[in-house]
Amino acid sequence: MHHACRLILSFSLCLAALAVPVARAETQPTPVAAAVTVVETLHAALFASMQAGAVGTQARADQLRPVVHAGFDFPTIARVVLGQTWGTLDEAERQRFLAVFAELSVATYASRFDSHTDERFVTLGSELGRRAGEALVRTQLQRPASGKRPVSLHYLLRSGSDGAWRIVNVVADGVSDLSLKRTEYATVLRNASIADLMARLESQTQGLLEGKDAE
């Protein structure tokens, strides 16, 4: 997906693009329509990023940042990916990790969604999750011109105390991003400190913004 999904468009254009690149396979109202809107807003921004691929990764990151920050529940994600380590951090360390992790997420999206042929996002359906306050939104990234099969993108969202839905996990073709990061970070933290992990993530972010693959 890295090369196939390769934003100096304004955020308003991201929202305006929502009606064009994002299609719905379902016609009935869903029980979690607000959660679907969060995912489709992200997809609209990613579509605009692909259309503006030539402007550079940093420019795309600057445009994607507010959408990513609004759409993802980074505190919940951080607690999961760090596991027991999260409980050992003081407030300053937690806030720094959140900032570093969120910026890596922004850079990753800006790097991956960097070119456009005829890709489009399609919302397949949505449903309430197995736990109270959770929703699952099932989507695809379709790319018929390349001859490649669609990429399955399923989003798990949770409703916060403010009533807003935010993404806590993305499962791409059956692979959980949350599980991958939890395993990766646990491996690093066996022999390194949280400061070392954050330095590693900052290096990955810089590499992505400079057009290099993350390690």
Helix axes 91-112, 194-209, angle to 10 degrees: 30
- Identify whether 4 is part of a domain: no
Is residue 186 domain-resident?
yes
pLDDT (tens, 9 = 90+) of the chain, 215 residues, equals 443 343 333 333 333 333 334 455 444 456 689 999 999 999 999 999 888 867 889 999 999 999 999 999 999 999 999 999 999 999 999 999 999 999 999 999 999 988 877 889 999 999 998 888 999 999 999 988 777 899 999 999 999 888 899 999 999 999 999 999 999 999 999 999 999 999 999 999 999 999 865 44
For residue 198, the domain's CATH number is 3.10.450.710
Instruction: Report yes or no on 57 lying in a domain.
Output: yes
**Of 76, 57, 94, nearest in space to 181 by CA:** 76
For residue 28, give both structure tokens.
């009935």
pLDDT of residue 174: 96
Tell me the β-bridge partners of 136: 127, 156
Could you give the angle at the alpha carbon of 67 between the alpha carbons of 65 and 70, nearest 5°? Answer: 105
Cα of 19 vs its chain's centroid, Å: 20
Is residue 1 in a domain? no
Cβ partners under 8 Å of residue 179, min gap 6: none
* 154 φ, ψ (degrees, to nearest 5): -110, 135
pLDDT of residue 96: 98
pLDDT at 24: 52
In this structure, the chain runs to a length of 215
Report d(CA 164, CA 38) in Å as an integer: 9
Residue 27: per-residue pLDDT: 45
Q: Which residue has the tokens 């994002």?
A: 22
Q: Is residue 215 part of a domain?
A: no
CA distance 17 to 125: 20
Question: Following DSSP, what letter does each residue of 39-79 receive, concatenated?
Answer: HHHHHHHHHHHHHTGGG-HHHHHHHHHHHHHHHB-HHHHHH
Exposure string over 24-42, b if 16+ CB within 10 A, otherwise e: eeeeeebebeebbebbbbb
151: Cα separation from own chain's centroid? 14
Cβ count within 10 A of residue 86: 16
214 is a domain residue: no
Asked whether residue 154 is assigned to any structural domain, the reply reads yes
Kindly state whether residue 193 falls inside one of the protein's structural domains. yes
State how many domains the chain has. 1
User: Which range marks the domain in which residue 127 is found?
Assistant: 11-209
